[in-house]
Amino acid sequence: MTTERSLILVKPDGYRRGLTGEVLRRIEAKGYTLVALDVTSATQEQLAAHYAEHEGKPFYQPLVDFMSSGPLTAVVVEGEDCIRGFRSLAGATNPTEAAPGTIRGDLGRDWGLKVQQNIVHGSDSPESAAREIAIWFPRLAS
């Protein structure tokens, strides 16, 4: 096991529904440490950098539009194997398919084709985490 950091975003749908506290409670209950937290509205530059690998795909613009539709909560967490651990805690990308007990399984809604409205984002690898943390929390970039 390795201590690592991950970026977690409580997306605009989760923020609008008042779920930030519940998401943070679950993160802390899992044993991860909150390193940084910011309630913010994403800039177009942040979103372009964050989703650069998806540019040109059919879901890119709807995703960017959704992520800029309101405030979100950006969080850096730290802990043993926290990237894989949080992704397990978050559940499957599609809330309809996410297992009960996961954030998306318990709190997500079936939005049909709007799968991006699934409460949270979590980094998928140490490399992605480093890149994403640098976008949302430049002062923590390594």
- Is 104 labelled a binding residue? yes
- Is 137 labelled a binding residue? no
Give the span between the Cα atoms of 9 and 3, in whole angstroms. 20
Beginning with the edge strand found earlier in the chain, give each strand of the sheet holding 33-40 in spatial order.
33-40, 72-80, 3-10, 120-122
Count other Cβ atoms within 10 Å, centred on residue 18: 8
- Is 43 labelled a binding residue? no
Question: Do 34 and 77 meet the contact criterion of CB atoms below 8 Å apart?
Answer: yes
Instruction: Kindly list the catalytic residues.
Output: 121
- Is 94 labelled a binding residue? no
Binding residues: 11, 59, 87, 93, 104, 118
Residue ranges for the known binding site for ATP are: 11, 59, 87, 93, 104, 118
